[in-house]
Amino acid sequence: MYATVQDMIGRFGETEMLRLSSVDGDLPETVNAAPVEQAIGDADAIIDSYLRKRHDVPLSPVPQVITRASCMLARYELSVGGDREPADQVKEGRKDTLAWLKQIADGTVTLEGTTPIVATSAAMTQDRERMFGRFGENGL
């Protein structure tokens, strides 16, 4: 995982994570890790889908900006569904994160601390003789 429950608490505060991790609407005494970890897993899958084109995923070590991206996307995931509607700030955070990930996928932005996949190309050769000539040769 690119982020942890503690990363989420550190970034958004315990009260926010208590509210977002509640299953039945009642504020729990401690953060319910299961929904938070599920949201992080969903966020990580989204991140990997963008990075896969240029990086071996999952990333290791995990750059801090990827941990931040995972937290932003997981917060959005926790904010939707049921009677929940994400705040504008949460929607903007998701939108900005996805735009940034697209830039990485397109190669216009680099991800510091990681080694991108190097595209290799090789020429193919063939040592067999042609059975037929070019179009128009040999009566073809």
- Express each pLDDT in 14-70 by its tens digit: 999 999 998 777 788 899 999 999 999 999 999 999 999 899 999 999 999 999 999
Query: Percent of the chain having pLDDT more than 70?
Result: 83
Whether pLDDT at 127 is above 70 = no
Instruction: Give 75: exposed, middle or buried? Use CB within 10 Å, 0-12, 13-18, 19+.
Output: buried
- Residue 112: pLDDT band (50, 70, 90) is confident
Whether pLDDT at 131 is above 60 = no
Predicted pLDDT at 76 = 98
Cα–Cα distances in angstroms (integers) from residue 133 to residues 90, 126, 129, 137, in the given order:
64, 15, 10, 5
